[in-house]
Amino acid sequence: IRLFLGILLTFVVSIPNLVLSIFALYGLGGQSGHLVINQLRIQNFIRISTLISVYSSNIVYKSTDPSFIIPIQSVNSTVFKDNSFATDTNTLRNDIQSLNNVLTYQNNKFQLGSKNVQLSGDALTDMVVNPRSQGKNDFINQIMSDETECLIPDDVDLPESIYSDQETGAQRCKNQQRMPGLQYPFKGLEQLLNVFQESVVELLTIEPGDIALNNTNFNYIIESARNDIYYGLYQINDYLVEELDKYQSTYQTVLIVVFILIIVGMLLISIISFLPLPGSLHILSEQTDWISAMTYTVDERLKHFSEVEFDSELGTEVPRVDESYKQ
C-alpha cells in the first residue's frame, strides 16, 4: 500500500508541471500570434503603398508572351499567384483592392482576435491564431486609439521627402503637412489606417494616367508609409517582441523552479515511501523463515503421536465400546 501511495503521489506531484507547461505554451502561442498578425499587416501596408506608386505612374510591362508570367512560390497568398499584376493595370487594380480588403481583415483580427472575425480567404493570414488586443493592452490601446499629434518617436532620423526635410522624429512631428489631408490631432493609428484604406479606394476609381502628382489621396498613401503609420506599426511590433521575450523568460524561469520543486518532492516522497521498506522486508524474511522451520519440523513432532496408549480402563458402560477398547 505504501509503495502504491508513493507512486500515486509522484504522479500527482508531476501534474502541476504538465498543466503549467500547457498553459505557458498556450500563452506563448497567443503572444506569437499577435506578433505575426502585426507583421503581416506591416508587410501588406508596404505592399499596397508600393503598388499604388506603380499604379499611379501607369508603368506596366505589357507582354503577350505567356512565358513572362511566372508563378510566385514564396508568398502564400490568394493575391500573388504570379507576376501578372506587373503586366496590366486592371490586374494591378484588382490585386491592390484584394490587398486592401485583406488589410481590413488583418486590422480587425489584430484588434478583436481570431475568434471574432471571419476568414479572409488569404491562407497565410487565416492560419494565424491570436487573442483580442482591443481593451486588453494599455500600450496597444494608446497607439491604436488615443488622440495624439504624432506617432513618430523623437529620436529617429528621417530622410527627406516631398513634404519634409531630413530631420529627427521630434522635428518631423511639428510638421502638420507631413501627411496631406489629415486633420491634427488624430485618433491614433486606427484612424490613420482607415484614412489610408479610404484613400486607396478613392484613388483606384481614377484611371492611372489621370492621377496628378499633387493628388491628396496619392500623397497621403505615400507619405504615411514613411511617417506615422509606419512608425506606429513598428512601435507595436517592437513592444510585442519585447513582451514575447519577457513572457518566454518568465515562464522558462517558472518552469525550471517548478521542475526543481517536483524533483525535490519526488525525492521526499521516495524517502517517505521506501525508507521503511528494508525493515518491512527484514520482518517478512524472519516470518518466512519461522514458517519454513515450523513446516519442516512438524513431521518429527507427529511421530510421537502415531500410537495412542491408554493407561486406565475405559468405562463407558457401553459393552461394544468397552470391548473394542480392550482389544
CA torsion sign, 155 to 158 to 163 to 164?
positive
In a domain, 68, yes or no: yes
In a domain, 280, yes or no: no
CA distances from 288 to 57, 274, 297, 299, 311 (A): 100, 21, 14, 18, 40
In a domain, 282, yes or no: no
14-43 residue pLDDT tens? 666 566 566 555 555 567 888 889 999 998
**297 or 285, which is more confident:** 285
What's the pLDDT band for 217 if we cut at 50, 70, 90?
very high
What's the pLDDT band for 263 if we cut at 50, 70, 90?
confident
Minimal CA–CA distance to 251: which of 37, 11, 15, 26? 26
- pLDDT score of 238 more than 60: yes
Minimal CA–CA distance to 131: which of 15, 247, 253? 247
In a domain, 11, yes or no: no
Run of H or E including 220: helix 216-224
Query: Is the entire prediction scored with pTM above 0.85?
Result: no
For residue 57, what are the domain limits? 17-249
CA torsion sign, 113 to 21 to 137 to 236?
negative
- pLDDT score of 275 more than 80: no
- pLDDT score of 235 more than 60: yes
In a domain, 25, yes or no: yes
Domain count for the chain, please give it: 1
CA distances from 85 to 179, 201, 242 (A): 28, 17, 37
In a domain, 222, yes or no: yes
In a domain, 296, yes or no: no
Highest mean pLDDT range out of 10-19, 172-181, 188-197, 221-230? 188-197
In a domain, 160, yes or no: yes
- pLDDT score of 65 more than 60: yes
